[in-house]
Chain A
């Protein structure tokens, strides 16, 4: 028990061990239970008529023909649902001056993007509901769509929504002072205008919800494909006026989320109201076309940035202007301003320079809402910073790796802060760079590159350092007034047979939450892993907590489990001491047996302690405390965020005639603190990298001038597939956080944070001898050929 965490040579030492996921077996056998699969008695199906216009006034709605269609049970408009559901506004108090129009499940007067749900139809089958939706007649009066981020900010610009006074959702400025003078006096100044395309999560299971209002009990049960069941319990309760204890949200198996499934969607809120109106279960599953026009999108930034550099290549300052377009309103309840906020605060984060100025403008337009998606803001900040570092290196005559060696925050400089106010407890940029160069065989790769260039083969090498936000405290949402918890809770019980049940508020989306929680509980309590059952994702069963987002599951949920397991162990040992007439401190629990702590001699089994506690309490003294269930909550303390860090390398080959890029190999060194399960961490990193490479080369929601999404299908919107992706080498540095006993930080966003930056630098490195450069992702063949002057 007192062995250091991560020591793998004692019984039940699971922390740090690569073990498989027990709950993956049912998914492999086709026995997953996704919301998509659920069927309830008397269940109805919803479908939605959607706006064909990016911006229009609703003149009239005629639902009579639709109501007469076969199987139709209900046709509901915005006005029908507005009578049940209070409006919501996607702002946070700590974003001063932020504004956004109120939202309702379905619009009453105005549609704000092409694809917005306007009228809901509920029928016996989905096909019948879709048939009837086609029979709904809506007369629209088209309004001018707001699309361009610059004209949107002009004083006389048309507004993206009637309820706002102008198209500026939020503005923020950071300035350490004296920036203009620093740039004026710098030996080198490099600058660039960057464009980051809109992309979207494209979870393989689309959004799915099944709401079941039981009028007899006054109880709402919602089976919801979400990361955050507690957040939705709170929202359904407050917006529909149902007591919190009468709202149950269950998140069963979930076919991918990546941040996309924790936002309020209009259809989802509508489905709750439809169930209230029908008094029957109502199910809605977005089809792929609907996903593209209604799931949140992300990124969509234009960043003008420059970097001032000394004669010897020392970075002096950065100056940044970020304009991001978010749709016609800010997403609820986490807003659409967090990404931009993190972009300007993460700029330059791995580096030593202290002088910084940034301006952020968050702009309304008539497109789908944007909001938090995996690695929120990180890829933008990282790509801008790392590209400027490469440009500055070239100007200073330094190799990109040498430039980073000169400018990264030294590993012995902690604790320290960034010029944007982030506090870093302990990071390992220098050690990570050393490890990356070794993994890549960097110098040999450079030599090979030079040799191949002589033969007309254009290979590029890109590297990108990054910092990742994890383990957020209430500084993230709580202080902004959002009822989104930063703490987690767990209930641990010893069963009468001496097994363990762990009900915990962090949730599972396939990353292995239940597995690592089981490892931690088994390790810290002192039983075999097979004896621990972990249950997540049901507000009626598990204690209230933040669930899983922003890389908080392992760090905060894991620490909750650790502390809970230690408390339960103390209770077991206290009871065993009473039974054995021993002192608790002389006992230990190992592999399900209470033993003499010093000699290891077996005293009594956990199963026997449990049997006595549950069935023979008459044999215990009156003051015995047989508390074999405990509930424990843990909220992050110490630093507001546990930052992680790492570095990535990307090796590409460019075909200068076709503009096609082949990613040859990709490397990641990351430091997520204590690694609980290396197998799962590595696969989180690889999956994250591929999402970043998708953004770098393929993924973009393309709109025409009228605000119509022109590639909203999986055949037209390109996602990374197996044949295009490289093998990815993953290495680790471990710098545990001292804020927790567990020492774990997040790892889920590290891959996505810097993959596109490394790829951008690699492609530019390949193009450099050809006199071309690119500052836009995705780097499509067409854009690369334009950069190369070929078209």
Chain B
């Protein structure tokens, strides 16, 4: 309802400037203005975790971050993390273990998992479950997600690297 403001930030490695309303969230900017629809909104109050993105390397809720607050930051979304293959091993493990059904929570889960493994490389199952306590999934019952993250933690600890996820056949 008020004048737009210019915001400059880096999204998936590309620095760009957009005019945004003060009330516009980072999730709005990503989804609506940049077409990065892999970031989802499920509650718009920071409870469900569907909107998680990496902001300067840490998971944040894009629904609780105003677009103007993201000025000068580096944002990575699921699309960018896919292209850079940073989460390829997580994506593969989720796929192998069927750790997703409808897929709506999945980008947020991947980012939460990546954030967890960055600060705690070999978490216990209880620690994984605790780290996912802000990510709601209605489909899976969580166990397969916990399994997949546990598998990746072990593989990373063993020094395994994964090729780009999408290049492999089903």
Which residues on A are within 8 Å of B, measured CB to CB? 20-22, 24-25, 27-34, 36-37, 127, 131, 201-206, 253-258, 287-288, 509-512, 529-530, 679-680, 683, 686-691, 713-715, 719, 721-723, 725, 727-728, 751
Contacts and interface: CB of A to CB of B under 8 A. Distances in A.
Given A713-B43, A725-B141, A256 B102 contact: yes
Contact of B145 (A20, A204, A206, A722): A722
Interface stretch (B65-73, B130-138, B152-160): B130-138
Contacts of A683: 98, 101, 140-141, 144
A539 to B, nearest CB: 21
A722 B170 contact: no
16 contacts: A20-B170, A21-B170, A27-B102, A28-B94, A36-B41, A201-B138, A204-B136, A255-B102, A510-B101, A510-B102, A679-B98, A686-B143, A687-B141, A721-B134, A722-B145, A728-B141
B83 to A, nearest CB: 9
B105 interface: yes
B78 interface: yes
Contacts of A202: 136, 138
Contacts of A512: 98, 101
Interface residues of B, number: 58
- The 4 A-B residue pairs whose C-beta atoms are closest, nearest first, are A30-B38, A27-B103, A510-B101, A255-B104
Contact of B140 (A28, A254, A686, A713): A686
A530 B165 contact: no
Name which of B40, B104, B133, B139 has the most chain A CB atoms within 10 A of its CB.
B139
A282 to B, nearest CB: 17
Given A510-B139, A728-B143, 12 more contacts: A21-B98, A22-B170, A24-B100, A30-B79, A30-B82, A34-B37, A37-B31, A204-B40, A256-B139, A687-B141, A689-B141, A727-B125
Contacts of A722: 128-130, 132-133, 135, 137, 142, 145-146
A419 B135 CA distance: 44
A136 to B, nearest CB: 17
A715 B98 contact: no
B44 A287 contact: yes
A256 B141 contact: no
B110 A28 contact: yes
Name which of B78, B104, B130 has the most chain A CB atoms within 10 A of its CB.
B104
Nearest to B21: A127
A86 B129 CA distance: 50
Name which of B21, B132, B142 has the most chain A CB atoms within 10 A of its CB.
B142
Contacts of A690: 140-142
B13 interface: no
Contacts of B106: 27-28
Nearest to B31: A37
Given A255-B104, A510-B100, A20 B138 contact: no
A634 to B, nearest CB: 26
Interface of A is mostly: loop
Contacts of A686: 140-141, 143-144
Contacts of B110: 28
Contacts of B44: 287-288
B29 interface: no
A257 B139 CA distance: 9
A509 B91 contact: no
B1 interface: yes
B37 A253 contact: no
B56 interface: no
B132 A721 contact: yes
Contact of B42 (A25, A204, A725): A204
Contacts of A253: 102-103
A653 to B, nearest CB: 15
A204 B50 contact: yes
B95 A258 contact: no
B104 A32 contact: yes
A721 to B, nearest CB: 5
A36 B43 CA distance: 13
Given A20-B170, A30-B77, A722-B132, A204 B91 contact: no
B55 interface: no
B59 interface: no
A28 B142 contact: no
A789 B137 CA distance: 35
A284 to B, nearest CB: 15
Contact of A29 (B47, B91, B96): B91
Contacts of A715: 43, 45, 47
A51 B98 CA distance: 42
Name which of A22, A33, A511, A714 has the most chain B CB atoms within 10 A of its CB.
A714
A587 B103 CA distance: 42
Name which of A27, A30, A33, A715 has the most chain B CB atoms within 10 A of its CB.
A30
A531 to B, nearest CB: 11
A494 B15 CA distance: 47
B103 A258 contact: no
A201 to B, nearest CB: 8
B105 A204 contact: yes
A689 B129 CA distance: 17
Interface string B3-43: 00000000000000000010100000001000011111111
Given A32-B104, A256-B104, A687-B101, A25 B138 contact: no
A240 to B, nearest CB: 29
Contacts of A34: 37, 40, 104
Contact of B95 (A24, A36, A728): A24
Given A288-B45, A721-B133, A723-B130, A29 B166 contact: yes
Given A713-B43, A723-B132, A29 B102 contact: no
B48 interface: yes
B141 A29 contact: no
Contacts of A27: 100, 102-103, 106
B98 A723 contact: no
Contact of B165 (A22, A29, A751): A29
B149 to A, nearest CB: 10
Contacts of B98: 20-21, 24, 512, 679-680, 683
Given A715-B45, A722-B142, A727-B143, A32 B103 contact: yes
B136 to A, nearest CB: 6
A679 B82 CA distance: 25
A21 B96 CA distance: 9
Contacts of B139: 256, 510-511, 687
A577 B91 CA distance: 45
A205 B128 CA distance: 24
A213 B77 CA distance: 34
